[in-house]
Amino acid sequence: MYATKLTGRIAIITGGSKGIGFGCAQVFAKHGASVVIASPFEEDGLSAEKALTQNGATAWWVRTDVNHEEQIRSLIETTIARFGKLDIMVNNAGWHPPAAEIDDIPLAEFESILRLNLTSTFLGCKLAVPHLRQSRGCIINVASLVGMLGQGKAVSYVTSKAGQIGLTKALAMDLAPDGVRVNAVCPAGVDTPMMREWAATLDNPDEALKKEDANHALGRMATIDDIGEVCAFLASDEARFITGQEICPDGGASLGYQRW
């Protein structure tokens, strides 16, 4: 039976059909929220919706490509039409391109990553804010630890994630008087389909995943539910005095420990 600290809350999660987004969706539902799953992929979206509703949650897939402003606007408007309010906006949709030196990154590719990862976050915030002011709700932007520390051969991705963190801090200042909190979640490695797709491009995928686990002081990557629980905390009243922060559920990856 679903109920607890997010009971009665309405949450939109972009990229909510798989990976971290689905982790947020199932954890939010566990804690009582009604979840709107935004994804452009019908099969994944309906599967995620079914996985939640068959366990008693309120979940609804809405086809959304966050590259397009009008689709984000429609997502929010249809959510308001169905549920009457919006309490939580999770900007999670994004992609990590293959490793590349800056010499080999065309401008169009760089701009496309910024559009998908950063501009969509700006639009999600902008279009949700009028409704979040009414509910005194919150925004959670899913960024990355590499947006703070950097990453080799990932200029486009790191730039987009650093931009999300800057956007979070600026917007937190602007919206604090309205009682709207804005935070960024910055994971290190997370065991997602995207992570496994990346590993599959390498000569030894299993070894790559083991190395990724070992990069964390706790000895493993995060699960999607690990990140979902952090986001659920930030969305709840338990985090009512937290805004403008980059929260790093990184398993100690940023500490640089050598494990012997």
| Separation of alpha carbons 75 and 207, rounded Å | 40
Look up 157 and say whether it is catalytic. Answer: yes
CB-CB contact of 243 with 176 (8 Å): yes
157, 163, 184, 215: the catalytic one is 157
| Separation of alpha carbons 30 and 40, rounded Å | 24
By CB neighbour count within 10 A (0-12 exposed, 13-18 middle, 19+ buried), where does 104 fall? exposed
| Separation of alpha carbons 109 and 138, rounded Å | 31
Complete edge-to-edge strand list for the sheet that includes strand 181-185 = 59-63, 34-39, 10-14, 88-91, 138-142, 181-185, 246-247
Reference 143, options 123, 159, 128; nearest CA is 159
Cα torsion 90, 94, 99, 103: sign:
negative
Residue 1, amino acid? M
Residue 116, amino acid? L
Contacts of residue 71, defined as CB under 8 A and 6 or more positions apart, other chains included, come to 63, 64, 65
CB-CB contact of 93 with 15 (8 Å): yes
Q: Which residues are catalytic?
A: 157
